[in-house]
């Protein structure tokens, strides 16, 4: 989230697209309802009429996988009707930037596409630069090669009729959405977009998100109170796990993990440190070397010296994809010996789980670290297999739950909140920290004893988390914050600051690239300071009245509650909306008031020191036109991999940057209906945590499918009937729920039915049922590989598995 | 058991704004958790939408009812929380022969299970069908929402109200009524113009605001008079009738016996006369 | 087998098959009750949260109480109004009442979820509860009936002093019985006044208690007729139809008043729709037509004074009307549209059958061993003899044998 949960109350229009917060983030509605009380419009666009939709002022149905068409239409509507926030767009986005001559877009394809490699040459999309090497701009936005004009042209194809033909949205509903949301283009209005898996789980998921962001840029909604691009994160600490580098291509703090050709620290820094010649661009990622060095210092301590490149060589270098899908593919081929599954359930969570379950059987050993016996830990005795046929040795390590241990949890709003242990762990279960600590200590002992090819990356780790039985979680938190490795004097503008060796680093701007500081995750520097554990703060004061609560917990970066907040003021530093100022420049005191600003510099207008607001980008301007997306600088509508229609907008059917896998089929004779999967309030994810709890199993005891009244009629089904749902990958049994909340889509004149199902059921736990992921295809987003769980083709037949 | 000493402006009251209810059922689970109630063995869904369990019961003190229908081509997906209404003048309390139910000054109508003889009159009497019975037990007791009296008494809100992200406000009745009226006035297009529970059954400590007409959502039309007054209008005559019947019958019998006595006396006199005449004759 | 038991067995062997059948039914009922106590209400009955009250309340309590009203009504007529010639009808009625109320108590205890706590009614008073009132009344009245029932017992065993005392108390008891009965007979109607939004308008009106009371009175008297006729017919007891003729003169007037009040209430005191539920309407018409208007018409004829058959028929119809009325009020009329229909479980039915059988059985047995019918007070010697002996010549043969051999 650029903003945070409480900030939702400041909004004038809340646009929920591709998420269902009433069901999956129920507490969010506390703030959404407050906004509605204050007169906000609540808009929901979803294939199904959900519990969120039931609270909406405007509901628009859209076909799964057509969000770019939907959002592109809104972009077009805002541009055509001049509803954009002109000053914002001109000053703060790259609308005025001129694109090089090579760039082109023809009938669904951008320039420089390599059909063999299924990839674009991203360099061909670069800005045109001036003599000094800075991007050229036309502040009048008239140049036909400027982003603004290209954008306008690109989305002029997304007129309301075309869009509604693609999305199946009733035209009146679509126009209502357009009118209501684009009205927030006014400087004194704030609109927020909430999204999650309905947007991301797609072969063009990242472009969906970009479309969201672009609409918000055009309406001037980023950086302001009640605005923002707000991803409602999923797992309770998934924000924290991403922050701390859980993804294969990232190190903690969103530093890139080294690639095979980043042979040394210099090469790494060269590759990953963006540069700019524009003095007004803060280009914050320019600090990359400081953060990497501090990270290496945190990991290897005194072993990490300037001379040995701070042990950079100990880091693994990647080549190609290590995404979930790839791992499964390799596992299926028997290329993996063992798997440690810590808090995840791959027999359930991934697509085509029939394949995944088979793949688990190719492992020599499997370790599951979980609260429960999961489908993964009992995959060897799942229905339909003979345990004798499976040789995998399975170890189940019982893990303590979140209330049985102390630590921080980062929520979607980037707030790290400290939690205390409420009860002792049940039975023999242990905290994950203890388990990892034991893993490390034992593996290290083995390496010390047996040496091996390259033991140092393990044996030299600085691993100082106390001597007790249970590692000291506060020491972990302190390591993440970072400290000075020697006495330091730092001059910051007019202040001179003295630090002793071992003092916590108060802010990441004091991190150094010479080894004098450590930081386990630079964005968290400041979370555990001399003043103590900032994440444990519980002060309920709210000086701005915007619900920022600056002394409640701690929020990265630097406790900034709304990021990009320099875009909430005009170039002179005056809030666009004086009624809801996030920050404001006090010309007399020469400082910002309100939230922690995106950098201390004076407003952009200040010729000497002023900076552009989008400090994380080298050009300092928000990107309406992207330079680093694998599938195009502008989001373009493509059909999902399995689709009931040809692409009505261009000749290119699917995202060209995604390879078409084998087991997909768009044979409408066999699979005439759109299948989609989702969650519901009553169950959690793969179900281990809820299907084992009687109070929740009671609420939703059975695997079910939701179908429309017309499909029920067509198939002779009524509520409670057992059915079989079939796709190219597999078939499952479920109970039918007939409801008017699901309706067929009008796709270019023909009606296409949808079949909706929760993906929470499996064979472990109290309430069991068939898994929706037996049906889903292994195909994912061009940029992130997140699977296309939301749009596939299926058939439905009366009678259960036996029938 | 007179409730007149209770100031109904102050009794703690739920304001359940169903237009804000997301049907998350946090309240339903929080109630089970706080009261440590057993989960029911359910199958599929027991009504419209995702409704479960099928009804309130000895194990389920509160439940979200789902309404999943279409009206003028528009979907309606409505949710409302069923629970004890904590009537100002509760029918359950008035009919209980042993006074096991009691309206507290704090608001909740509570049950003293040590008194209960198990006649189940409370179940018959409650206009909202709230009290449920432990049919599973050999010596069953009545079960219903306690209004979380133990929490309320100690200055806390009920478990369900605490869990609810949106729909439940909890506070003194007068304030809740005022708040409800304020909402009706501020957003007439959002609400059906009625506060269910303001007057129903003489007023309750649970108030509802809805979007759809009450009957469409399954809210029962309930008399506005406190229910106990219906029985009391008869019962208040009890002492009078008792003494009246006694008195009248005593009078009648005195009169009838007197007639009898007089007749007897006359007979005797006549007999005596006859005797004496006889004797004279003899 | 002890000697006493053998005597009892021999005695039983001599009984009529009908009595044996009753004994079997009572035995089955007792077993069923045992099952109910062991396994609980939920398992053994078809009661549930929709039907917290079923057959046992509707029949064993709500219906049985007015059916046992003969005792107090005939008491009023005979003792209070001092129509002495009717005194022979009093004892059978009291026995019926005594049995009826005892069995109501049994029924209540069976139905209570916590019967062991029944005493709580005496500990915690809730004056606002009709149930409290009825419980107190039933307890009090059962006590009164027990005392009244002691009368033939004392006479049977020749206990002169209690007999004398009881004779003196006859009138006060009759008045007390009337007072108590008025209260609880009417209060059974008050029960359902709380069901203002549940009970259908065909029955719900504020005069329900008055209607319950009046119908209890004329049914009580009809029961006396019914019983006397049957006893005459099947137990060879003297024909009392002449006495009954007096009752037939009283009954229709009370029925008339009842009908007027009912119609008045329907016309002026009812709020909801009356004709929206065809099945209920049919039940209502059956109750009023066959159960009130028809027998009332019969009672108003001259012929009924002498026609024994007609007396029995008319009385039967009244009883039918009352039973239907009580079921209509306590069960059928409460059913909400679309609700599942309740039917009693086997256990519930067996218990109720057992209770009815017990009533018949005990009545017959009591009549067999105690001076119930042959009681003609004008012939009884209530003085206390000098030697405190039993009253000679008032022993039945069977009683004599029992004592002799016991
Ligand atoms: N109770 C509960 N809460 C949860 C979870 C849970 O399992 N249970 N999981 C957590 C996790 S890990 C996550 S990631 C989040 C996910 O939260 P959400 O994203 O809200 O979860 P979903 O239900 O998968 O999808 C949201 C909605 O997207 C709609 N949808 C499907 N296809 C499309 C499409 O093509 N376009 C658009 N616009 N919408 C589409 C679906 O109908 C659905 O209503 O929830 C978190 N919260
Ligand atoms: N069809 C379909 N499939 C989907 C999705 C979809 O929308 N549709 N959504 C996808 C999404 S967004 C996600 S995030 C994935 C999730 O997929 P998974 O992560 O595989 O599923 P979870 O059930 O969340 O697994 C988390 C496990 O962690 C355990 N756990 C909980 N707390 C702890 C702890 O403190 N320590 C340890 N060691 N374990 C703990 C839980 O018991 C649970 O078994 O599924 C994906 N799969
Ligand atoms: S489950 Fe937890 S994180 Fe999710 S909405 Fe509820 S309270 Fe918030
Ligand atoms: S709703 Fe029913 S149980 Fe609750 S207080 Fe009122 S009468 Fe009693
Ligand atoms: S069942 Fe218990 S609480 Fe209910 S009325 Fe009877 S005695 Fe009172
Ligand atoms: S007040 Fe307490 S007992 Fe009643 S529904 Fe709420 S949580 Fe349950
Ligand atoms: S917790 Fe609140 S919002 Fe959720 S179902 Fe209950 S009343 Fe509705
Ligand atoms: Mo997720």
- We report the CATH number of the domain holding residue A794 as 2.40.40.20
Assigned token pair, A183: 């009205």
**Residues of chain C with pLDDT > 90: what percent?**
54
Strand partners, A746: A751
Same domain for C220 and C113: no
| C383 and chain B in contact, CB less than 8 A | no
Q: Which residues of A touch B25 (CB under 8 A)?
A: 681-682, 699
Q: Residue holding tokens 């918000």? A: A216
Residue C136 has pLDDT above 80, yes or no: yes
Q: What is the pLDDT of residues B28-57, one digit of tens each?
A: 999 999 999 999 999 999 999 999 999 999
Residue whose C-alpha is closest to residue A524's, from A499, A557, A498: A557
Domain boundary among A188, A210, A231: A231
- Whether the bond into A557 is cis, omega within 30 of 0: yes
DSSP H or E stretch at residue A478? helix A473-481
pLDDT at B278: 56
CATH code of residue A362:
3.40.50.740
Length of chain C: 406
Chain length of chain B: 282
- Give yes or no for a contact between A195 and A22, defined as CB atoms under 8 angstroms apart: no
Tokens of A701: 């005891």
Give the separation between CA B24 and CA A55, rounded to whole angstroms: 12
E-state strands within chain B: 12-17, 63-71, 74-82, 101-103, 109-111, 132-133, 142-143, 168-172, 206-209
Residue C315 carries which DSSP code? Answer: H
Question: Residue holding tokens 């609560």?
Answer: A549
Full domain range(s) for residue A411: 324-459
Q: Specify which residues A134 forms β-bridges with.
A: none
Taking alpha carbons only, the member of A278, A121, A314, A372 closest to residue A614 is A278
The tokens describing B72, both together, are: 């003028």
Domain-embedded: residue A473:
no
What secondary structure letter does DSSP report for A270? H
Query: How many angstroms separate the Cα of A689 from the Cα of each of A514, A550, A694, B34, C79?
Result: 46, 33, 11, 19, 77
**Are chains C and A touching, using the cut-off of 8 Å on CB pairs and a minimum of 3 such pairs?**
no
Closest CA to A756 of A694, A680, A697: A680
- Chosen for mutation from A176, A735, A739, A742 (greatest number of chain B CBs closer than 10 Å) is A739
Q: CB distance C37–B233 less than 8 Å?
A: no
* Rounded (to 5) percent helix, strand, coil in chain B: 35, 15, 45
**Substitution candidate for ligand 3 out of A25, A194, A411 with most atoms within 8 A of CB:** A25
Q: How many domains does chain A have?
A: 3
List the strands of the sheet with A554-555, edge to edge.
A407-410, A415-419, A554-555
Residues C217 and C281 in one domain: yes
Query: Residue B3: its pLDDT value, please?
Result: 47
Q: What is the pLDDT of residue C234?
A: 83
- Give the mean model confidence (pLDDT) for residues C12-23: 87
Look at residue A744 in the predicted model and tell me its pLDDT. Answer: 97
Cβ distance of A699 and B24 shorter than 8 Å: no
Residue C150 lies in a domain: yes
Of the residues C293, C320, C335, which one is the last residue of a structural domain?
C335
Half-sphere exposure at residue B192, Cβ-oriented, CA atoms within 13 angstroms = 17
Q: How far apart are CA A641 and CA A776, in angstroms?
A: 11
From ligand 3's centre to the CA of A26, what distance in Å?
A: 6
Q: How far is the CA of B75 from the centre of ligand 6 (A)?
A: 30
Confidence of residue B271 (pLDDT cuts 50, 70, 90): confident
Q: What was the pLDDT predicted at C385? A: 52
The answer to whether position C181 is within a domain reads yes
Is residue A70 a contact partner of residue A16, using CB atoms and an 8 Å limit?
Answer: no
Atom number in ligand 3 closest to CA A26: 5
Report every protein residue that has its C-beta within 5 angstroms of ion ligand 8.
A 234
Ranges of chain A with pLDDT below 50? 802-803
What pLDDT is attached to residue C87? 84
Q: Residue C279 sits in which domain range?
A: 195-335
User: Are residues A76 and A191 part of one domain?
Assistant: yes
Closest CA to A568 of A536, A532, A592: A592
Q: Report chain B residues whose CB lies below 8 A from the CB of C208.
A: 234
Average pLDDT, stretch C293-300?
Answer: 94
- Is position C354 within any domain? no
Instruction: Judge contact between C149 and C102, C-beta under 8 A.
Output: no
Angle at the Cα of A651 from the Cα atoms of A647 and A653, rounded to 5 degrees: 50
Q: How confident is residue B255, by pLDDT bands cut at 50, 70 and 90?
A: confident
Q: Quote the CA–CA distance of A744 and A49 in Å, as a whole number.
A: 12
Query: A308: which 2 tokens?
Result: 């040995």
The percent of residues above 70 in pLDDT, for chain B, comes to: 96
Domain-located, residue A516: no
Q: Is residue A54 part of a domain?
A: yes
**Residue A587: partners with Cβ closer than 8 Å, 6 or more residues away:** A573
What's chain A's length in residues?
803
Residues within a 6 A CB radius of ligand 3:
A 25-27, 236
List pLDDT tens digits, range C315-363.
Answer: 999 999 999 999 999 999 999 888 888 999 999 999 999 999 999 999 9
Is A224 in the same domain as A335? no
**Within an 8 Å CB–CB cutoff, is residue C273 touching chain B?**
no
The partner residues of A745 in beta bridges, in order of sequence, read A752
Mean pLDDT score, B144-169: 97
CATH number of the CATH domain containing A207: 3.40.228.10
Distance CA A376, CA A369 (A): 10
DSSP conformational letter for B157: P
Total domain count for chain C? Answer: 2
Q: Within a domain: residue C85?
A: yes
User: Does C406 reside within a domain?
Assistant: no
Check whether residue C200 and residue C324 sit in a common domain: yes
Phi, psi of A133 (to 5 degrees): 90, 5
Domain ranges of chain B: 12-227, 237-281
Q: Can you tell me whether residue A620 is helix, strand or coil? A: coil
Residues C249 and C186 in one domain: no
Q: Give the confidence band of C77 by pLDDT, cuts at 50, 70, 90.
A: confident
Q: Whose CA is nearest to atom 3 of ligand 2?
A: A349
* Helix, strand, or coil (residue B78): strand
Helix (H) or strand (E) holding B281: helix B238-281
The pLDDT assigned to C402 comes to 38
In Å, what is the CA distance from C289 to each residue of A113, A152, B184, C248, C285?
Answer: 93, 85, 51, 19, 5
A373 occurs within a structural domain: yes
| C307 occurs within a structural domain | yes
pLDDT one-digit tens code per residue, A358-405: 999 999 999 999 999 999 999 999 999 999 999 999 999 999 999 999
Tell me the average pLDDT across B229-248. Answer: 91
SS3 C107: helix
pLDDT for residue B2 is more than 80:
no
Tens digit of pLDDT for each residue in C40-60?
999 999 999 999 999 999 999
Strand partners, A674: A754, A793
Pair C143, C214 in one domain: no
**Ligand 2 centroid vs A236 CA: distance in angstroms?**
10
Give, in order, the Cα–Cα distances in Å from A77 to each of A175, A208, C69: 9, 17, 85
Which of B41, B49, B165 is closest, CB to CB, to A26? Answer: B165
Q: How far is B140 from chain C (nearest CA, A)?
A: 6
Please report the residues numbered 11 through 40 in chain B whose beta carbons come closer than 8 angstroms to any beta carbon of chain C: none
Q: Do C196 and B227 touch (CB under 8 A)?
A: yes
Q: Which long-range contacts (CB under 8 A, 24 or more apart) does A326-331 make?
A: A326/A785, A328/A355, A328/A356, A328/A359, A328/A778, A329/A778, A331/A359, A331/A360, A331/A362, A331/A363
pLDDT tens digits, one per residue of B91-103: 999 999 999 999 9
CB contact at 8 A, C101 and C139:
no
Token digits for A270?
A: 């060269």
Does residue C382 register a pLDDT over 80?
no
Cα atoms in the Cβ-side hemisphere of radius 13 Å centred on A731:
14
| Chains within contact range of chain A (3+ C-beta pairs < 8 Å) | B
Q: Note the pLDDT tens digit of each residue in A758-767.
A: 999 999 999 9
Ligand 5 centroid, distance to B131 Cα (angstroms): 9
Q: Residue C389 pLDDT > 90, yes or no?
A: no
* pLDDT value at residue C400: 41
Please indicate if any CB of chain C lies within 8 Å of the CB of B254. no
Asked if C123 is an interface residue toward chain B (Cβ–Cβ < 8 A), one would say: yes
The architecture of the domain spanning B12-227 is 2-Layer Sandwich (3.30)
Residues C220, C306: one domain? yes
pLDDT at B69 over 90: yes
Nearest Cα to Cα of residue C330 among C142, C113, C60, C99: C60
| Predicted pLDDT at C159 | 82
What sections of A123-204 are H helices per DSSP?
Answer: 147-156, 160-167, 171-182, 197-200
Residue C11 φ/ψ, nearest 5 degrees: -55, -45
User: Residue C395 — very low, low, confident or very high, per pLDDT cuts 50/70/90?
Assistant: very low
Domain co-membership, C212 together with C177 = no
Q: What is the mean pLDDT of chain C?
A: 87
- When CB atoms are compared, the residue of C37, C128, C334 closest to B235 is C128
Residues on chain B touching A683 (C-beta within 8 angstroms):
none
Assess if residue C33 is contained within a domain: no
Cβ proximity of A1 and A222 under 8 Å: no
C272 in contact with B at a CB cutoff of 8 Å? no
Domain boundary among A459, A475, A503: A459
Given the CA of residue B62, which atom of ligand 6 is nearest to it?
A: 5
What percent of chain A is helix, strand and coil (3-state, nearest 5)?
Answer: 30, 20, 50
| Separation of CA A683 and ligand 2 centre (Å) | 11
Look up residue B225 and give its two tokens.
Answer: 């008079």
| C260 vs C262: CA distance, rounded Å | 5
Ligand 1 touching residue A234 (CB < 6 A): yes
Nearest CA in chain C to B229: C194
pLDDT for the residue numbered B260:
78
pLDDT at B277: 61
**Cα separation, B278 vs C61, whole angstroms:** 61
- Residues C161 and C217 placed together within one structural domain of the fold: no
Chain C segment 37-96 residues within 8 A of B by beta carbon are 37-42, 47-49, 52-53, 76, 79-82, 84
Q: Is C122 on the interface with B (CB under 8 A)?
A: no
């Amino acid at each position: 989230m650029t903003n945070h949960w409480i900030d939702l109350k400041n909004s004038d229009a809340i646009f929920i697209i591709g998420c269902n917060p009433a069901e999956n983030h129920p507490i969010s509605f506390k703030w959404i309802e407050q906004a509605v009380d204050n007169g906000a419009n609540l808009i929901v666009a979803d294939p199904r009429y959900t519990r969120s939709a039931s609270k909406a002022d405007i509901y628009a149905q859209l076909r799964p996988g057509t969000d770019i068409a939907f959002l592109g239409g809104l972009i077009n509507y805002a541009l055509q009707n001049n509803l954009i926030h002109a000053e914002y767009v001109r000053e703060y986005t790259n609308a005025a930037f001129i694109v090089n001559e090579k760039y082109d877009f023809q009938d669904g394809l951008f320039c420089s596409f390599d059909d063999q490699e299924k990839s674009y040459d991203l360099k061909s999309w670069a800005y045109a630069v001036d003599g000094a090497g800075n991007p050229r701009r036309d502040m009048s936005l008239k140049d036909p090669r400027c982003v603004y004009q290209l954008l306008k042209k690109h989305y002029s194809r997304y007129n309301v009729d075309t869009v509604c033909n693609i999305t199946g949205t009733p035209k009146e509903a679509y126009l209502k959405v357009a009118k209501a949301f684009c009205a927030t283009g006014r400087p004194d209005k704030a609109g927020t977009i909430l999204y999650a898996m309905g947007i991301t789980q797609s072969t063009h998921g990242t472009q969906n998100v970009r479309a969201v962001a672009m609409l918000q840029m055009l309406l001037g909604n980023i950086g302001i109170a009640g605005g923002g691009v707000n991803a409602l994160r999923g797992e309770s600490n998934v924000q924290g796990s991403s922050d701390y580098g859980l993804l294969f291509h990232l190190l903690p703090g969103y530093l890139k993990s080294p690639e095979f050709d980043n042979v040394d620290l210099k090469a790494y820094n060269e590759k990953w440190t963006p540069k700019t010649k524009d003095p007004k661009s803060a280009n914050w990622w320019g600090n990359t070397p400081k953060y990497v060095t501090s990270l290496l210092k945190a990991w290897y301590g005194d072993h990490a010296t300037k001379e040995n490149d701070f042990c950079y060589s100990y880091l693994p270098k990647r080549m190609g994809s290590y995404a979930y899908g790839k791992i499964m593919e390799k596992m299926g081929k028997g290329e993996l010996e063992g798997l440690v599954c810590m808090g995840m359930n791959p027999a359930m969570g991934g697509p085509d789980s029939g394949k995944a379950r088979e793949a688990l059987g190719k492992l020599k050993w499997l370790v599951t670290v979980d609260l429960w016996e999961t489908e993964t830990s009992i995959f060897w005795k799942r229905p339909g297999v003979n345990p004798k046929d499976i040789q995998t040795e399975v170890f189940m390590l019982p893990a303590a739950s979140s209330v049985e241990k102390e630590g921080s949890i980062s929520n979607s709003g980037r707030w790290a909140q400290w939690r205390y242990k409420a009860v002792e762990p049940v039975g023999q279960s242990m905290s994950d920290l203890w388990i990892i600590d034991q893993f490390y200590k034992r593996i290290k002992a083995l390496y010390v004893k047996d040496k091996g090819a390259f033991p140092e990356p393990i044996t030299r780790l600085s691993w100082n988390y106390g001597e007790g039985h249970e590692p000291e979680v506060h020491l972990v938190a302190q390591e993440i914050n970072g400290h000075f490795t020697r006495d330091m004097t730092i001059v910051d503008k007019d202040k001179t600051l003295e630090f002793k060796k071992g003092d916590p680093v108060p802010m990441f701007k004091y991190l150094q690239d010479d080894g004098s500081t450590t930081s386990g995750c630079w964005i968290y520097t400041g979370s555990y300071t001399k003043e103590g554990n900032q994440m444990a703060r519980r002060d309920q004061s709210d000086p701005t009245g915007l619900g920022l609560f600056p002394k409640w917990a701690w929020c990265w970066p630097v406790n900034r509650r709304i990021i990009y907040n320099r875009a909430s003021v005009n170039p002179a530093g005056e809030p666009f909306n004086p009624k809801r100022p996030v920050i404001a420049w006090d010309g007399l005191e020469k400082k910002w008031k309100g939230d922690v600003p995106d950098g201390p510099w004076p407003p952009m207008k200040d010729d000497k020191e002023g900076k552009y607001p989008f400090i994380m980008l080298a050009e300092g301007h928000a990107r309406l036109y992207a330079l680093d997306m694998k599938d195009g600088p502008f989001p373009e509508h493509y059909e999902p991999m399995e689709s009931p229609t040809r692409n009505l907008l261009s000749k290119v059917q699917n995202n060209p940057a995604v390879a078409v896998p084998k087991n997909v089929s768009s044979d409408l004779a066999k699979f005439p209906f759109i299948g989609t999967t989702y969650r519901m309030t009553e169950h959690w994810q793969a179900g281990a945590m809820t299907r084992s709890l009687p109070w929740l199993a009671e609420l939703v005891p059975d695997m079910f499918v939701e179908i429309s009244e017309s499909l029920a009629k067509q198939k002779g089904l009524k509520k409670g009937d057992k059915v079989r749902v079939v796709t190219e990958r597999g078939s499952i049994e479920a109970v039918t729920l007939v409801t008017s909340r699901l309706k067929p889509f009008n796709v270019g004149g023909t009606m296409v039915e949808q079949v909706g199902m929760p993906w929470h059921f499996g064979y472990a736990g109290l309430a069991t049922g068939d898994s929706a992921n037996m049906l889903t295809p292994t195909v994912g987003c061009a940029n992130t590989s997140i699977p296309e769980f939301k749009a596939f083709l299926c058939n439905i037949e009366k009678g259960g598995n036996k029938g | 058991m007179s409730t007149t000493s209770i100031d109904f402006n102050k009794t703690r009251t739920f304001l359940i704004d169903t237009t804000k209810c997301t049907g998350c059922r946090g309240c339903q689970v929080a109630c089970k958790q706080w009261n440590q109630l057993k989960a029911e063995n359910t199958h599929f869904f027991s009504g419209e939408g995702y409704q479960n369990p099928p009804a309130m019961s000895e194990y389920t003190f509160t439940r979200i009812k789902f309404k999943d229908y279409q009206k003028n081509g528009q979907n309606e997906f409505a949710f409302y929380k069923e629970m004890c209404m904590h009537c100002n003048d509760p029918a359950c309390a008035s009919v209980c022969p042993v006074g096991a139910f009691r309206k507290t000054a704090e608001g909740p109508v509570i049950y003293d299970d040590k008194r209960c003889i198990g006649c189940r009159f409370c179940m018959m009497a409650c206009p909202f069908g709230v009290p449920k019975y432990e049919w599973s037990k050999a010596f069953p007791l009545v079960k219903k929402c306690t209004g979380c009296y133990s929490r309320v008494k100690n200055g806390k809100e009920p478990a369900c109200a605490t869990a609810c992200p949106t729909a439940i406000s909890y506070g003194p009745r007068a304030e809740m009524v005022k708040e409800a009226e304020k909402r009706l006035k501020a957003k007439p297009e959002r609400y059906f113009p009625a506060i269910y529970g303001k007057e129903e059954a003489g007023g309750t400590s649970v108030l509802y605001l809805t979007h759809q007409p009450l009957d469409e959502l399954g809210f029962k039309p309930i008399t506005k008079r406190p229910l106990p007054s219906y029985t009391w209008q008869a019962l208040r005559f009890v002492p009078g009738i008792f003494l009246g019947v006694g008195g009248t019958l005593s009078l009648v019998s005195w009169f009838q016996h007197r007639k009898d006595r007089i007749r007897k006396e006359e007979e005797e006199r006549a007999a005596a006369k006859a005797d004496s005449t006889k004797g004279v004759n003899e | 087998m002890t000697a006493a038991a053998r005597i009892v067995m021999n005695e039983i062997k001599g009984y009529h098959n009908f009595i044996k059948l009753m004994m079997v039914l009572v035995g089955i009922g007792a077993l069923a009750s045992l099952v109910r106590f062991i396994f609980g209400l939920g398992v053994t009955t078809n009661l549930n949260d929709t039907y917290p009250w079923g057959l046992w309340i509707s029949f064993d309590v709500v219906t049985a109480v007015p059916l046992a009203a003969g005792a107090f009504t005939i008491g009023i007529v005979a003792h209070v109004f001092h129509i002495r010639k009717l005194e022979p009808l009093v004892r059978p009625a009291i026995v019926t009442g005594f049995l009826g109320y005892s069995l109501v108590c049994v029924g209540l205890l069976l139905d209570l979820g916590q019967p062991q706590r029944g005493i709580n009614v005496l500990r915690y008073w809730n004056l606002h509860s009709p149930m409290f009132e009825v419980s107190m009344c039933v307890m009090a009245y059962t006590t009164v009936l027990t005392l009244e029932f002691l009368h033939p017992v004392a006479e049977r065993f020749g206990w002169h002093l209690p007999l004398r005392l009881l004779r003196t108390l006859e009138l006060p008891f009759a008045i007390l019985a009337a007072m108590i009965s008025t209260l609880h007979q009417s209060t059974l109607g008050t029960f359902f006044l709380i069901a203002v939004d549940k009970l259908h308008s065909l029955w719900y009106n504020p005069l329900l208690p008055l209607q319950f009371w009046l119908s209890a009175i004329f049914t009580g008297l009809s029961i006396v007729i019914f019983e006397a006729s049957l006893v005459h017919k099947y137990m060879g007891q003297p024909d009392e139809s002449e006495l009954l003729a007096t009752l037939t003169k009283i009954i229709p007037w009370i029925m008339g008043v009842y009908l007027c009040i009912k119609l008045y209430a329907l016309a002026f005191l009812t709020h909801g729709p009356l004709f929206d539920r065809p099945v209920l309407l049919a039940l209502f018409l059956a109750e009023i037509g066959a159960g009130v208007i028809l027998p009332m018409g019969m009672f108003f004829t001259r012929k009924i004074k002498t026609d024994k058959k007609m007396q029995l028929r008319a009385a039967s119809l009244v009883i039918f009307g009352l039973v239907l009325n009580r079921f209509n009020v306590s069960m059928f009329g409460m059913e909400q549209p679309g609700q599942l229909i309740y039917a009693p479980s086997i256990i519930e039915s067996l218990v109720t059958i057992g209770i009815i059988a017990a009533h018949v059985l005990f009545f017959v047995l009591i009549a067999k061993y105690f001076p119930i019918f042959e009681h003609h007070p004008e012939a009884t010697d209530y003085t206390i003899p000098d030697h405190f002996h039993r009253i000679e010549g008032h022993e039945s043969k069977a009683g004599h044998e029992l004592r002799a051999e016991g």
